[in-house]
A and B are shown apart, each in its own frame.
Chain A
Amino acid sequence: MSNRSKNIDRYWKKNIQIVSILLLIWFLASFGFGIIFANNLDEISFFGFKLGFWFAQQGSILIFVAIIFVYIGLMKNLDHQFNKDRDD
């Protein structure tokens, strides 16, 4: 394998890793806390909300926003590394 294709390969593997971890969080925040475990979380009171209800109607959306911005940040670094390796 040439250096170039090694670099592409590394970039893609790292990308898949980032996306997988972030999608796991995405799944937990919405399907996990907002749906599957919502009734259990409702036992906990959170600023006047039942916690499961809060995740379903507020929290999950805020976490979604956070996930995308973390992704933007991580990919910016990864792109930077990729371009550096390519130019070396």
Chain B
Amino acid sequence: MSIQSLTYLFVGISFGLYVFIAIKSRAGSTNEFYIAGKGVHPIANGMATAADWMSAASFISMAGLISFMGRDGAVYLMGWTGGYVLLALLLAPYLRKFGQYTVPDFIGTRYYSTTARVVAVICLIIVSFTYVAGQMRGVGIVFSRFLEVEIELGVIIGMGIVFFYAVLGGMKGITYTQVAQYCVLIFAYLVPAIFISILITGNPIPQFGFGDRLIDQDIYLLEKLDLIMSDIGFQPYTSGLKETIDVFCITAALMLGTAGLPHVIVRFFTVPDVASARRSAGYALIFIAILYTTAPAVSSFARYNLFESTHNVSYQQAPEWFKNWEDIGLIAWRDKNNDGLIQYAPGNAFDPVKPKYLDSNGEFGERIIVNNSQVSSNNEVYIDRDIMVLANPEIAELPPWVIALVAAGALAAALSTAAGLLLVISASVSHDLIKKTLATNISEKKELFYARFSVFIAVIIAGLFGIYPPGFVAQVVAFAFGLAAATLFPALLLGIFTKSINKEGAVSGMLAGLIFTLGYIVYFKFLNPEMNSSLNWLWGISPEGIGTIGMLINIFVSIMVSKFTSKIPYEIEELIDNIRQP
């Protein structure tokens, strides 16, 4: 069977499975719709959390990014796992004890204020929508490369599936489809990684193969990679380029943001008790760590394979995948030195960076692009980071079914995260805005209707993001973390661990964190992108890492404002005492 028909088969089977599970687990009440009736087993919840968490960005983009960043890529690895320690130790057990439906629910109740609730809803919606837009791009890439349908149609199919099981099953339906999606995505991630590890090092465990000797040479893979990189003039793979303070702040922002992401936190509301909330955080991190310890191995294998198979190779003899991805528009090559060979070098090959193709071919058959050559660099190749995982099986010449499996896995990762995000968005609208703020006397049945209706609206908006991606989507996803770190995380943390922070403190803290972080990002990324370099940054901290400072500002403002305003009411002190007990 061809790659394409195998892909149709795998994707078809996996989609059928998700729909089947959705029909089996319909939600009948708001309790089931928002938090799956608090009946989810910790292991199932761990898997669902892992699928919820590992998005198109983790599955498709992360290994590719690390592959090009080398050592600095560790910010993603530590940042996107370390946050679970904070979640497990500082938030999950207490929020589960509180036992309500949403994150703004806790903030609104703990700070006895509708304003605090609404500010939390605004933060939640900004964070979640920037995140969901990234998922849709992932769905679009997979559909257009592997199923050769238009991106628009691909997004509509994906949205249709998510819509079906999110509207029907709510949290309950999503939880059990996410369990299935975790199994699909982790299998799809590990199989090619194991194959490639065996091919390169002879070691079947990628985590060890990564540190092993090459199969045909008596040298460690990482040593060899460092040598290859230094030869071409790159930074050695195992040493970093970024300033230590920036690495520190980006890692911290990603960790704190992870712990403040509403679609992750809400998963801990679905288990029966406090002890289960702790356990499911542990299981979730195990399931996540399986992928996250494999990813850096995949990155180094991919970098090695990429250079071995295409550097100093003539374009005509370049492997098939190179041309396939060039056709999709994610690779471009211009023979700057007229030797007919593909050559990599540090720096961007073209200006602007992303290629714009003409409808004609050059002397070797390559697609001609209109971009100027970047004169300061000898690099001849544009290669989109996102293709490293998707193309890896092709680069390593693995059998077609492995390639088809990766497509199904990438879709599972994108859809599971999209569903989780859409659900928290809709729950915060139907529960926090409608039920708790605007129309407090509606019946449960009516609220359930609004919940389903908001999923519908959220799916449409997310679909539009996928079909008409705003140019800034890819960059903005990383900022969702900074914003979560600067707004929701401190409000939750202070709400549990202090009794002194009152509603004035929390609201002004969240707003200060939001405005500072958003302002810094918008200033450097959108208003003055030419100034976006370490010379102009505050203490050398990039916009990706600024959420860490935003969090400190939030905490400082919360404490200072609370000092000069009234004490929290007695009932709230009792509430805090209550959530602190198991």
Contact = CB atoms under 8 A, between A and B. Distances in A.
B325 interface: no
A26 B487 CA distance: 23
Contacts of A67: 85, 89
A61 B222 contact: no
B71 A19 contact: no
B89 A65 contact: no
Interface in A24-60: 26, 30-31, 34-36, 38-39, 42, 46-50, 53-54, 56-58, 60
A35 B251 contact: yes
Interface in B275-322: 275, 278-279, 281-282, 285-286, 289, 292-293, 296
B581 A61 contact: no
A56 B78 contact: yes
A15 B81 CA distance: 23
Contacts of B582: 11, 75, 79, 82-83
Given A48-B213, A68-B88, A79-B275, A60 B221 contact: no
Given A48-B220, A64-B84, A56 B77 contact: yes
Interface string B90-112: 10010000000000000000000
A63 to B, nearest CB: 9
Contacts of B212: 48
Given A26-B85, A31-B252, A60 B581 contact: no
B238 A42 contact: yes
Contacts of B340: none
B577 interface: yes
Contacts of A22: 85, 89
Nearest to A11: B581
B547 to A, nearest CB: 15
B286 A65 contact: yes
B289 A68 contact: no
Nearest to B220: A48
B31 to A, nearest CB: 25
Interface residues on A, range: 35 or more
Contacts of A35: 74, 244, 247-248, 251
Contact of A68 (B73, B213, B275, B281): B281
B329 interface: no
B87 to A, nearest CB: 9
Interface of A is mostly: helix
Contacts of B281: 68
A58 B207 contact: yes
B540 interface: no
B581 A82 contact: yes
Contacts of B90: 19
Interface in B214-265: 220-222, 238-239, 244, 247-248, 251-252, 255
Contacts of A39: 239
A57 B77 contact: yes
B278 A75 contact: yes
B204 interface: no
Contacts of A60: 74, 77-78, 81-82
B211 interface: yes
Contacts of B252: 31
Most buried by A among B71, B78, B220: B78
B544 to A, nearest CB: 15
Interface in B567-581: 577, 580-581
Contacts of B211: 46-49, 54
Contacts, number: 125
A80 B514 CA distance: 41
Contacts of A38: 71
Contacts of B577: 8
Nearest to B83: A64
B82 A53 contact: no
A12 B289 contact: no
In this complex, the member of A38, A42, A54, A65 whose beta carbon has the largest number of chain B beta carbons within 10 angstroms is: A65
A31 B248 contact: yes
B84 A68 contact: yes
A45 B211 CA distance: 10
B541 to A, nearest CB: 14
B221 A61 contact: no
B296 A57 contact: yes
A30 B256 CA distance: 13
A82 B410 CA distance: 45
A46 to B, nearest CB: 8
A58 B296 contact: yes
A71 B168 CA distance: 37
A72 B279 contact: yes
Contact of B89 (A19, A54, A83): A19
**A42, A46, A71 interface centre (most CB from chain B within 10 Å):** A71
21 contacts: A11-B581, A12-B580, A31-B248, A31-B251, A34-B78, A34-B251, A35-B248, A47-B208, A48-B211, A48-B212, A48-B213, A48-B221, A50-B222, A58-B296, A65-B286, A67-B85, A68-B88, A69-B282, A72-B278, A75-B582, A79-B274
Given A62-B293, A64-B81, 13 more contacts: A19-B90, A31-B251, A35-B244, A35-B248, A48-B211, A48-B213, A60-B74, A67-B85, A68-B278, A68-B281, A71-B282, A72-B282, A79-B274
In order of increasing CB-CB distance, the 7 nearest A-B pairs are A48-B211, A56-B74, A57-B296, A68-B282, A79-B582, A48-B220, A49-B211
Interface of A: 8, 11-12, 15, 19, 22-23, 26, 30-31, 34-36, 38-39, 42, 46-50, 53-54, 56-58, 60-62, 64-65, 67-69, 71-72, 75-76, 79, 82-83
Interface of B: 66, 71, 73-74, 77-78, 81-82, 84-86, 88-90, 93, 207-208, 210-213, 220-222, 238-239, 244, 247-248, 251-252, 255, 274-275, 278-279, 281-282, 285-286, 289, 292-293, 296, 577, 580-582
